């Protein structure tokens, strides 16, 4: 068969978000946006329906990678991630997640090699499905709630202002770069290069 020369998928890069055009520009969907930009940079389209997700395979620095956008809605993201990881026998430390973070200002990103969900329902679902939290993630700042009484669900499903979008654009780009960089560098090298951007 034509794919017999290819080694199996060794990394999974997951962008988190909610399916449906009504969510495209919301804070919760920046993971989708970063993964879409990465795919564009690599010349692939994330459009194959598998594992309750949209997927694409690509090569990054000699590694065969599956790009994955769960179509389960955020709170059940782990179902898609676990299905793909199980199929390809990908260990947790080779599952990179791109997601939003309300504790970071809009325009900032942060790499973490592991950690808790920090209240993020998508990460919570993935940790539960994978049975551990030792997987890397690139967090993209979407800003804190405007005041403590503001409903969190309403906030993450809100859209960015025009001014925020200007700050967000380089962060999305940096997140896509960080995803590629992570596959060939140690965690502290990724942190040193991207944290603070």
Active site (catalytic) residues: 28
Cα–Cα distances in angstroms (integers) from residue 148 to residues 26, 47, 120, 144, 151, in the given order: 20, 38, 17, 9, 8
In degrees and rounded to multiples of 5, residue 114 shows phi and psi of: -170, -175
> What angle (nearest 5°) sits at the alpha carbon of residue 76, between those of residues 9 and 88?
15
The pair of structure tokens assigned to 168 is 């967000």
Backbone angles phi, psi at 15, to 5 degrees: -105, 130
79, 54, 84, 75: which is closest to 123 by C-alpha? Answer: 75
Q: Report the C-alpha gap between 169 and 33 in whole angstroms.
A: 10
């Amino acid at each position: 068969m034509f794919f017999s020369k290819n080694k199996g998928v060794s990394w999974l890069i997951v962008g988190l978000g909610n399916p449906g055009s009504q969510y495209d520009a919301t804070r919760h969907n920046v993971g989708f946006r970063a993964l879409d930009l990465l795919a564009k940079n690599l010349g692939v389209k994330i459009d194959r329906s598998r594992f309750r997700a949209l997927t694409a395979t690509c090569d990054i620095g000699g590694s065969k990678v599956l790009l994955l956008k769960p179509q389960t809605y955020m709170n059940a993201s782990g179902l898609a991630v676990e299905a793909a990881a199980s199929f390809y026998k990908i260990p947790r430390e080779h599952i990179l997640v791109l997601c939003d973070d309300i504790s970071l200002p809009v325009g900032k990103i942060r790499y973490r090699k592991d950690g808790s969900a920090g209240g993020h329902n998508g990460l919570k679902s993935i940790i539960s499905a994978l049975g551990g939290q030792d997987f890397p993630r690139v967090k993209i700042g979407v800003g804190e709630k405007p005041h403590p009484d503001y409903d969190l669900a309403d906030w993450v499903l809100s859209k960015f202002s025009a001014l925020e979008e200007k700050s967000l654009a380089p962060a999305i780009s940096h997140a896509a770069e960080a995803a590629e960089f992570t596959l060939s560098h140690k965690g502290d090298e990724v942190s040193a290069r991207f944290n603070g951007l």
